[in-house]
Amino acid sequence: MLKKWISLMLLTLLFTILVACGQEETQEANSSSGKEEAEDTSQSTEINYLGETYEVPKDPSIVITGSLEAMEDALMLGVEPIGAISVGGEFPELYQEIVGSAESIGEKQQPNLEKILELNPDVILSTTKFPEDVSSKLNEIATVIPVSHLSTDWKDNLLLMGELSGDKEIAEQILADYDEQLEEIQAKASEQLQDKTAVVVRIRSGNIMIYSQNTFFNPSLYEDFGLAVPSVVEAAEAQEAISLEKFSEVNPDYIFVQYAESENADNPEALSDLEVNPIWQSLQAVQNDQVYVNVVDPLAQGGTAWSKIEFLKAFKENVLAE
Domain extents for the chain?
46-166, 189-318
Residue 216 has pLDDT above 50, yes or no: yes
Give yes or no for a contact between 210 and 236, defined as CB atoms under 8 angstroms apart.
yes
Angle between helices 68-77 and 154-165 (to 10 degrees): 60
> What pLDDT digit, counting tens, does each position of 147-203 carry?
999 999 999 999 999 999 999 999 999 999 999 999 999 999 988 998 999 999 999
Cα–Cα distance measured from residue 141 to residue 113, given in angstroms and rounded to the nearest whole number: 9
Q: What is the largest CA-CA distance in the chain?
A: 124
Percent of the chain with pLDDT over 70: 87
Cα–Cα distance measured from residue 210 to residue 239, given in angstroms and rounded to the nearest whole number: 6
Which residue blocks in the chain are alpha helix, DSSP H?
2-41, 68-77, 113-119, 132-139, 154-165, 168-192, 218, 231-235, 244-250, 270-275, 278-281, 284-287, 305-318
Mean pLDDT confidence for 279-292 = 98
Please tell me the predicted confidence (pLDDT) of residue 294: 97
Residues in CB range of 123: below 8 A, 6 or more apart: 56, 57, 60, 61, 62, 63, 142, 143, 144, 145, 164
Residue 6 has pLDDT above 70, yes or no: no
Which pTM does this prediction carry?
Answer: 0.84
Superfamily of domain 46-166: Nitrogenase molybdenum iron protein domain (3.40.50.1980)
Closest C-alpha among 97, 67, 101 to residue 85: 67
> What pLDDT digit, counting tens, does each position of 10-32 carry?
444 444 444 444 555 444 444 44
CB atoms within 10 A of CB 176: 10
**Three-class SS state of 290:** coil
Alpha carbon of residue 251 to chain centroid: 32
Q: Which of the four pLDDT bands, split at 50, 70 and 90, describes residue 278?
A: very high
Q: Which of the four pLDDT bands, split at 50, 70 and 90, describes residue 88?
A: confident
Q: Domain 189-318: which CATH class?
A: alpha beta
Question: Same CATH fold, 189-318 and 46-166?
Answer: yes
Window from 11-25, 96-110, 307-321 with minimum mean pLDDT: 11-25
Secondary structure of the chain: what % helix, strand, coil (to 5)? 50, 20, 30
Closest C-alpha among 236, 260, 261, 263 to residue 247: 236
Residue 234 has pLDDT above 90, yes or no: yes
Q: Which of the four pLDDT bands, split at 50, 70 and 90, describes residue 42?
A: low
Closest C-alpha among 71, 117, 120 to residue 97: 71
**Three-class SS state of 267:** coil
List Cα–Cα distances, 3 to 13, 125, 268, in angstroms.
15, 81, 109
Q: Could you say which DSSP state residue 41 is in?
A: H
Alpha carbon of residue 292 to chain centroid: 24
Residues in CB range of 102: below 8 A, 6 or more apart: 80, 81, 82, 83, 84, 91
CB atoms within 10 A of CB 281: 11
List Cα–Cα distances, 115 to 63, 78, 84, 230, in angstroms.
10, 23, 11, 44
Give yes or no for a contact between 149 and 212, defined as CB atoms under 8 angstroms apart.
no
- Encoded amino acid at 180, one letter: E
Window from 6-15, 113-122, 218-227, 236-245 with minimum mean pLDDT: 6-15
Q: Could you say which DSSP state residue 93 is in?
A: G
